[in-house]
Structure 1
Amino acid sequence: MVGSGGILVTGQALVARYTGSIEAGSGSLIGDPAAGASRGDSDIRGPLNILLAGIDPRDDTQAPRSDSIIVAHVPAGMDQAYLFSIPRDLYVRIPPFAQTGFAGTTAKVNSAMSYGSEIGDGRHDVAQGFQLLARTVSGVTGIHTFDAGAIINFGGFKKIVEAMGGVTMTIDQNVRSEHLQPNGKPRPKRPECLNGGCDHPYTGPQKVYKVGTHHLRAWEALDYVRQRYGLPNGDYDRQRHQQQFIKAMAQQAMSRDVVTDPTRLLAVLDAAGDSLTFDGGGDSVLDWGLALKGINTEDMTMVRLPGGGLYENGRYLGEQLDPSTGEFFQAVREDRIAEFLLDHPNYVSTAS
């Protein structure tokens, strides 16, 4: 949607042709509107909060986990966007969920989608799981309801990057791949780890992503933003890389190489239909694209939330956010992030 301003110049009918496969369908992601909330058709006005969850490809017999959780805040002026990540290992209160009979618990936030997804007979509904994730993130941030939500299938995201011909990214630190060899093939597992139980089960040569600006192939980009082991700040570094990836993808989608090439543009839209599940609170992807067309990719600010490990009697429970994030979340709710960041420049992710 961030890149839609450029894509829409090719014609609304072209975009409308492909939005059907991106809709949430029969399952709502963000649940019913809050009591008293009202919004006319295509009346999308800021400030807005959009919840994005990235998951690995799985069938409905496997419980989904949201390994990437990002909130996009669009101020009332509808001319810029702020992105901040919720750490996947954040130790939080996951509320009860009547649809599955879940009583609630305290656990890592990325398990919320799993607890909310069960539909019986060993099957899982990702859209239903997203509802519990949204409620959990609401509890963390104080954002009462989200205006839109999207599930991003990483496998499908790879298809989007392939359709765009790769993506150019600035890599801000040397990163070694836990999963892939230099040729892109999976690293073999150590024999003693074939049945699980190992923190670092892989062996052999590793793909290395070096500092600098590089044009990454689809498999390289996706592999790069999945890495957290071996990084100085672990998942916090990975969150920053994922935000950088989103911005780079938006810039690539709006480049002349894409928007002026009908064949490539159609391939990108086809891939988007395979990778995104979207709920716009009653408004279509096209409506949202039109509403957000004033946002330039250069006006996307990446926000880093400070935090660290949470331990109990020496046992690691997960991550906890710095107390100052309470002030940040209040600024989000009151639509004054710009003022907050002026007073707290350490919250701005400076790497681009």
Structure 2
Amino acid sequence: MTAGRTGGSEGARRHRRPAPAWAKVALGLGLVLLLISGAGGAGLHMLTNRYDNSVVKELLLDPAARGERGDVAGPLNYLLVGSDERPSADPGADQRSDTIMIAHLPAGLDRAYLISVPRDLLVEIPPAPASGWPGGPDKINSAFQYGGGGQGGTRLLSATLTRLTGIRFDGAALVNFAGFQRAIDLLGGIRMCVDTPVRSIHTRHVFEAGCHQMSGPQALDYARQRYDLPNGDFDRQRHQQQLLRAMMDRATTTDMLRNPLRMDQVIRAIGSSFTVDTNGVPLEELIFGLRRIRSDALRGIQLPSHSEDIDGVSYVLLDEPATTLFGAMHGADLDNWARQHPKWVNRL
């Protein structure tokens, strides 16, 4: 990691408004939909054509962060970004990528790891001349704002992550807050298991311990919580990963796969808020390549790190195992890394 342990830019010190519930689960909803669609069997062609017409396609990856292969052979690394993007006179103002995840699919493409990147991770962000950002250390979610939000913000974020990890991405997805609540409700809600009781700071609802069927608003609210949890934001990252697993479970255990109308409604609910960069791979080919992944083959990984105050500002700093994690992703050896570092693996 190139960012120092002292200082930090003025941008890191400004007050950050709370992100909406939608942004907290944006970190892979697109991937979930791809996996759901891939399980559609005979309806695959119809669904991919419909989905292809629903999503926005842009070049989300910085050239320095873009992989060279452009295929679905595996192993693959996808950048998944959730943004708090709202209409504004200044489109880049205070837009932050509050949910950042790397989806790693080992060779064989029959399983997936979701590596959550803490939004307060202290990193070295490259210069962004268009916004006047000269480059320097700051929290990683600021990269999205310095890049101007949207396409430019995701590009700067991808360049930041490549500088940090050495990983070049095979694709990227950017999701804003629209459509998520309806998508979960269209699935009939999802089953979430609460390990630590917590009161929502937004609705005052108490999520009691145990497994519960949650509606869209409830599930999104729960996935936002970090206060009064034993591990704070790290627990929230795990709950986000669990939510994605729950969505996949629900989608593949109901009649949705045999219900073209319901599938179409889900695609419509998400498509308007989903932007993709497939690195030149046709969407139908990508979905077909991911068709074998099932929810019980989904694993969550907490990026080895810890929180630390620097000059009165709370940051997250990498721990030593993070270096070996990045190396394992490069060397297609993440399965072995996970076995050797069970502390950082979330069973979803």
| Contact map agreement 1:56 1:155 (CA 8 A) in 2 | no
Judging changes above 3 Å, is the alpha-carbon distance between structure 1 residues 343 and 169 closer, same or farther for their aligned structure 2 residues? same
State the structure with more CA Rg.
1
CA RMSD of aligned residues (A): 2.0
**Superposed CA offset, 1:177-208 (max 9, x none):** 1111xxxxxxxxxxxxxxxxxxxxxxxxx111
Residue 46 in structure 1 maps to residue 74 in structure 2: yes
Return the offset for 1:284.
3.5
- Match of 2:313, SS state, is strand
Judging changes above 3 Å, is the alpha-carbon distance between structure 1 residues 111 and 8 closer, same or farther for their aligned structure 2 residues? farther
Aligned residue number for residue 121 of structure 1: none
| Aligned with residue 193 of structure 2, among 145, 153, 170 | 170
Counterpart-to-counterpart distance in 2, 1:8 and 1:102: 47
**Superposed CA offset, 1:214-257 (max 9, x none):** 11100111111111122111110000000111111122222333
Residue 157 in structure 1 maps to residue 180 in structure 2: yes
| Contact map agreement 1:3 1:251 (CA 8 A) in 2 | no
Aligned residue number for residue 106 of structure 2: 75
| Contact map agreement 2:38 2:44 (CA 8 A) in 1 | no
Normalising by structure 1, report the TM-score.
0.83
Counterpart-to-counterpart distance in 1, 2:160 and 2:224: 23
| Aligned with residue 308 of structure 1, among 306, 309, 331 | 306
**Superposed CA offset, 1:60-80 (max 9, x none):** 534321111111001122111
Aligned residue number for residue 170 of structure 2: 147
- Match of 2:179, SS state, is helix
Residue 126 in structure 1 maps to residue 150 in structure 2: yes
Aligned residue number for residue 268 of structure 1: 266
Percent sequence identity over aligned pairs: 38
Return the offset for 1:5.
2.6
| Contact map agreement 1:71 1:85 (CA 8 A) in 2 | yes
| Aligned with residue 336 of structure 2, among 325, 331, 339 | 339
Give the number of aligned pairs. 312
Gaps of 5+ in 1: 118-124, 181-205
Normalising by structure 2, report the TM-score.
0.84
Counterpart-to-counterpart distance in 2, 1:107 and 1:33: 20
Counterpart-to-counterpart distance in 2, 1:85 and 1:36: 20
| Contact map agreement 1:8 1:15 (CA 8 A) in 2 | no
Return the offset for 1:112.
0.5
Residue 328 in structure 1 maps to residue 325 in structure 2: yes
Aligned residue number for residue 199 of structure 1: none
Aligned residue number for residue 39 of structure 2: 6
| Contact map agreement 2:98 2:119 (CA 8 A) in 1 | yes
| Contact map agreement 2:66 2:170 (CA 8 A) in 1 | no
AA matched with 2:152:
Q
**Superposed CA offset, 1:277-316 (max 9, x none):** 1111112332211111111111111112232222335x23
Aligned residue number for residue 207 of structure 1: 205
| Contact map agreement 1:91 1:317 (CA 8 A) in 2 | no
Counterpart-to-counterpart distance in 1, 2:67 and 2:306: 38
Return the offset for 1:130.
0.4
| Contact map agreement 1:28 1:128 (CA 8 A) in 2 | no
Aligned residue number for residue 198 of structure 1: none
Return the offset for 1:47.
0.9
AA matched with 2:62:
G
Residue 291 in structure 1 maps to residue 328 in structure 2: no
